Amino acid sequence: MHQALEYDTPPRGRRRRLWAALLLGTAAVAYNGWLLEFLLPTGLDPRHSYVSELYAADQPFHRLFSGIEVTCALLVTAGALLARCTLPGRLAATGWWAAIAFAGCSVADTIVPMRCAPSVERSCEAVNPWHTTTSALVHFAIFSSMALLSAAAKAGRPRLPLIRRWGPWVLPCAMVCAVATVGPLFGGPGWHGVPQRAHLVLVGTWFALLAVALVRPLAHDQPVTGNPTAAHTPPGRCSGVSAATSQEDGLRSTAGL
């Protein structure tokens, strides 16, 4: 008789997931590096300033906050690449690529920063065309990643209960906070710093949820019959999965006949 085998990822796959979780968990902290503004004499009011003003070209700590942004982008990129190689499904893979796009746009955000801080300098323009464009792309990419990974979790590929449960809540809350920050772009400045910082906390929470979801036990991820590797690692997707591992998993599957 054929007995349903519960796929147990090989040690290499487990290590990839653990590293991905560690990187994304660290990114969750780094993405909220703006909290340092409460310890540093930035001269900006968190209630009425954009976080991107912290790394505006003329600000005293622009190198520090730019560095934190780039570091976070590198962490997200590495974590997403590792996670992409260990979780099944095209929808999930697209969601991880969207996370990588988010990281790339975040780096672009620091390459074309605001010229100055409009919340403290009246002559400074609130809309910097290049920076506003890269910021919009950052939002589009992270919302796309949230939506795609939440949809993949809901479909069960991969089975990530935390994402399936909390993703549909984090995404709309983050979107509402993002929309609430556009006041200065339309001539209505004031208090936009509060929803923006709430948005950053929610994005950090999202990365933390991904990190925890990745290290959940894998024993019940996806019962399958036949060759488990075929269900979990599409051919050609991740070069790190060796032929030897595939043969080992095939033998493991045969043993269950």
- What is the pLDDT tens value at each position of the chain, 257 positions in all? 333 333 345 677 788 899 999 999 999 999 999 999 999 999 999 999 999 999 999 999 999 999 999 999 999 999 999 999 888 789 999 999 999 999 999 999 999 999 999 889 888 887 888 999 999 999 999 999 999 999 999 987 777 888 999 999 999 999 999 999 987 777 666 789 999 999 999 999 999 999 999 987 444 444 433 344 444 444 445 654 433 334 434 444 444 44
* Model pLDDT, residue 127: 80
Q: Which residues contact 214 (CB under 8 A, 6 or more apart)?
A: 17, 18, 20, 21, 24, 83, 160
Q: In the block, which residue shows the tokens 């955000």? A: 109
Cα separation, 243 vs 34, whole angstroms: 45
What's the pLDDT score for residue 128?
83
